[in-house]
Amino acid sequence: MDIDTLYAALHDLAFAVYIGGLFYAEFVLTPAANAVAPAQGVVVRRKAGDRQAIIAWTSLFVILITGILRLGQLQILAFPGTFFLEPAIASTGYGHTIFAMFGLWCVLVALGLAMTFVLRPLLVGKIDPTLSQEKREQRQERMIGAARWMTISLRVDLLVAVAVVVLGVSLRYGGLL
């Protein structure tokens, strides 16, 4: 196996793991968690989310590194260049597709940051029983809002990931853009 094949296999495997986790969360985990008592569903989502976050961040990192290595092996990286690509490549459909894929990867990272550092902390906190009824209700409302935004974020994440797959496949044919 040559190094190009290794980079491609690692890159594709990392993306398959990433998008597979999103499909699993949307089409298996969420319906299963909704089918049990709400308190149990929260625990299932929290535990699965802890593991998924580690896997997703690892996958995004591997995707970035192997993507850069693959472009380096193709000898189309340039420093300086047009956004680090050879100018002759950057102005083609292939280059535009690479830019779009990197931009969408950045969207995946931004969504991951929001889910990991904004929404998840709101979901994992417990409601202190010593709080006043009004404060407990406010806390519960924030948790419900965070859960709703988490669902929306995961679905957007899935749509963006599918768009990246379509763009990635199009590279074989010169790019889509």
Distance CA 63, CA 11 (A): 5
Q: What is the mean pLDDT of residues 132-153?
A: 85
Amino acid identity for residue 155 in this structure: R
How much of the chain, in percent, has pLDDT values that exceed 90? 53
Residue 81: band (very low, low, confident or very high) from pLDDT cuts 50, 70, 90 = low
- Determine the Cα–Cα distance for residues 6 and 38; give it in Å rounded to an integer: 44
* 9 pLDDT above the threshold of 90: yes
Sign of the CA dihedral with 21 first, then 100, 58, and 46 last: negative
Confidence band for 134, pLDDT divided at 50, 70 and 90: confident
For the chain, give the number of residues. Answer: 177
**Is the pLDDT at 148 greater than 90, yes or no?**
no
pLDDT in tens, 34-65: 888 877 777 788 888 889 999 999 999 999 99
Instruction: Spell out the domain ranges in the chain.
Output: 3-173
Q: Tell me the Ramachandran region of residue 28: left when phi exceeds 0, alpha when psi lies from -120 to 50, beta otherwise.
A: alpha
Task: Give the Cβ contact number of residue 177 at 10 Å.
Answer: 14
Q: Give the pLDDT of residue 76.
A: 86
pLDDT in tens, 10-26: 999 999 999 999 999 99
Instruction: Enter the pTM of the model.
Output: 0.88
Query: Buried (b) or exposed (e) across 81-110, using 16+ Cβ within 10 A?
Result: eeeebbeebbebebbbbbbbbbebbebbee
Long-range own/partner contacts, residues 153-156 (CB < 8 A, 24 or more apart): 153/111, 153/114, 153/115, 153/119, 154/22, 154/25, 154/26, 154/115, 155/26, 156/111
Instruction: Count the helices and strands in the chain (H runs, E runs).
Output: 7, 2
134, 64 contact by CB (below 8 A): no
Question: Residue 157: is its pLDDT beyond 90?
Answer: yes
